[in-house]
Structure 1
């Protein structure tokens, strides 16, 4: 067992969680910080979740602490509540075979840290940090970190057969950390790429977005294509040419809306097809709506038809996203032109219109009914296109005129 004194100063997240470790140890059990939080501490990255592994069984953990929640007790995880924070404390465990390539058929709790670390995905995640700063590193994870390598723990084929999502995680970490994937691990991904179809698309979605938001998204996307993973996710199978073209663009710094809109535009999808694409990836309705608006606005930019009305219908979020993507795609428009034009619009929503349906009814211009809505829509469009000023008197006069024209 390789133990190296590595950490002299804990980040604040670990400092706050140290009482949890010490209380478990005071009860006669082992306890360590494990996983991504240890990795990110060594790399000087921001910590998101503090995970704790222990030799104490779930019921023993619950006896040690007054306030706990059974968040995943069947897998050995108990949430310990402490001073407004929640810490997932998981019992050391081994796992049986994985018949469905995503969940172990059986979980066995053990007292051995070594057995627990053996089941983890990559060497850089198979590290345990004790409360005195000692790191337990059984699989040369620290060396792999120094060499910027993603390497599976043990036999890569076995790790990917256990949970096929680990293939996407390898590529995601490669993009996020700017690490290469070790050749044997890469070869195993290539051999098992088809198993990705066994994984729930929601899980793939999360890893894919993290990959695309990493420091080297182009590397991640290219590896998805080269290793065959792209053939086993929704819509990508039939878009190899478009994917390769998109992978050559400067993809760093995109947000989630921009990521999906870029693919929708690159695949030349219309609105109906965009909606289906996003449903296939189990995206939220809100994300789907903004992606659709952004991609369709990009189409209008490409065709030289992005006028005031198109910007107004798209809305600010889609306009900002399209502005950024237009530069990445080298579309014929100046930087920030869309946002600049959008800011100059007299109104941004119908609520900004200086006259309302109630005003038109009160002034006896119109009565409730279809014509009232038509007149308001006409006024709204005219203001957006600067044919009318957003002025109450001017709009009232225009409404009377429109009504008169409609009755002729």
Structure 2
């Protein structure tokens, strides 16, 4: 039975790996996400295997192996450039701080191994002949679109509290519902989330935000109050849902814009957002990109919203171009995306003006000082003046007038312009 939703080379090499284990007298199956995604018709990005062979026995059969998590029974086997995690059947001991087992014990029964997994849709194994080992009804739950814990939800969430956030993430990304007993177990055990590292929670949040319907995940998190129990509360129920109705319209490829919109809907200032994103373990680059959207929004509000009307004149055009130069094209484009997905009556700038901003931005001739065809030294030489604060001001002026198409970007025109400005300022 062939894989439909896995890349051919990866599927073929995983089967070679599995067959090798079988030929040496071991049991072996595909397991977990690849089996689930094949049943769901979703693209498969990696393929994990489970086997009765011990890690040492696995490493003895293949030339290129990495002891990824050998203490927990996991070995990565590389087959023609494709990495596969191969894990020995195991049961787990007592969990420490609701996040990891203190010990694992290797077993010979795959059903014992599947029993330790989080949700029934992830507790399905597939044999080389295409048959399934499915002791907990994972196929039926997948067909019905239900997230259901394996066995007792209280036990599963008590073992690893991150599973509660994963539960919400699966429901959001897959568009599935959560079984009643699983939801009740989540509410009962949510305080255990305080033991989970923020980095692990953030990874799950990022997957929610990159999904097709992030608003569903956010609503489930809000209803459950789950994240209020994190070491640093990440979201709670602060956001204005109306402002987020168009969240899914934003491309998952511009996830930082989604985060910007979320913080905007939570009425975070750029300063507050920066403080929180740092606590939530975002990288400095991600933090700066997201906060830039909010800083630009604050500047737009300061410059335009106080007016009774927004006159689409030359002054407005140059003002917008100046903002694009200050904040960068990516931030300006991201802010425009944010504004366009807001309900019309909640936008701070009418859509026709947003269209003009986009047009004016696309017509800009330069975006950085390095694009000017004159250097600071040439400016000082032409004006016979030593370096000082005036030089930076002059360069910024030249950048604006060139970007706006007022002055040509050639040396003679630029020198004429700076002489004009210098003369007019005495």
Fold match (TM-score > 0.5): yes
Partner of 1:4: none
Shift of 1:65: 0.7
1:241-279: per-residue Cα shift (whole Å, max 9, x none)?
A: 435444545435443111210122223333322211211
Whether 1:104 aligns to 2:121 is no
Match among 315, 326, 333 for residue 350 of structure 2: 333
Q: Distance in 2 between matches of 1:105 and 1:376?
A: 62
Q: Distance in 1 between matches of 2:356 and 2:11?
A: 46
Shift of 1:364: 6.6
Q: Distance in 1 between matches of 2:221 and 2:244?
A: 10
Whether 1:164 aligns to 2:161 is yes
Q: Distance in 1 between matches of 2:393 and 2:244?
A: 46
SS in 2 for 1:224: helix
Whether 1:353 aligns to 2:372 is yes
Partner of 1:343: 362
Gap regions ≥5 residues in structure 1: 1-6
SS in 2 for 1:307: helix
Whether 1:392 aligns to 2:405 is no
Q: Distance in 2 between matches of 1:384 and 1:282?
A: 37
C-alpha spacing 1:336/1:199, structure 2 compared with 1 (3 Å): farther
C-alpha spacing 1:247/1:379, structure 2 compared with 1 (3 Å): closer
Partner of 2:179: 182
- Number of residues paired by the alignment? 400
C-alpha spacing 1:196/1:295, structure 2 compared with 1 (3 Å): same
Root-mean-square deviation over aligned CA pairs: 2.4
Whether 1:378 aligns to 2:377 is no
Shift of 1:200: 1.2
Partner of 1:259: 258
Q: Distance in 2 between matches of 1:252 and 1:221?
A: 15
Partner of 2:323: 310
Q: Distance in 1 between matches of 2:262 and 2:114?
A: 38
1:175–1:212 Cα contact (<8 Å) kept:
no
Q: Distance in 1 between matches of 2:301 and 2:389?
A: 36
Shift of 1:325: 1.3
SS in 2 for 1:80: strand
1:74-115: per-residue Cα shift (whole Å, max 9, x none)?
A: 111111111112111111111111131111111222222111
Partner of 1:151: 148
Whether 1:17 aligns to 2:14 is yes
Q: Distance in 1 between matches of 2:90 and 2:323?
A: 56
1:213–1:253 Cα contact (<8 Å) kept:
no
Shift of 1:371: 4.1
Q: Distance in 2 between matches of 1:188 and 1:243?
A: 27
Q: Distance in 2 between matches of 1:9 and 1:167?
A: 30
C-alpha spacing 1:252/1:104, structure 2 compared with 1 (3 Å): farther
Shift of 1:285: 1.5
SS in 2 for 1:242: coil
1:222–1:247 Cα contact (<8 Å) kept:
no
Shift of 1:396: 1.2
Q: Distance in 1 between matches of 2:339 and 2:60?
A: 58
Q: Distance in 2 between matches of 1:275 and 1:196?
A: 23
C-alpha spacing 1:337/1:52, structure 2 compared with 1 (3 Å): farther
Whether 1:134 aligns to 2:131 is yes
Gap regions ≥5 residues in structure 2: 306-318
C-alpha spacing 1:377/1:253, structure 2 compared with 1 (3 Å): closer
SS in 1 for 2:53: coil
Q: Distance in 2 between matches of 1:366 and 1:18?
A: 74
Partner of 1:194: 191
SS in 1 for 2:268: coil
1:217–1:252 Cα contact (<8 Å) kept:
no
SS in 1 for 2:95: coil
Moved more, 158-167 or 353-362: 353-362
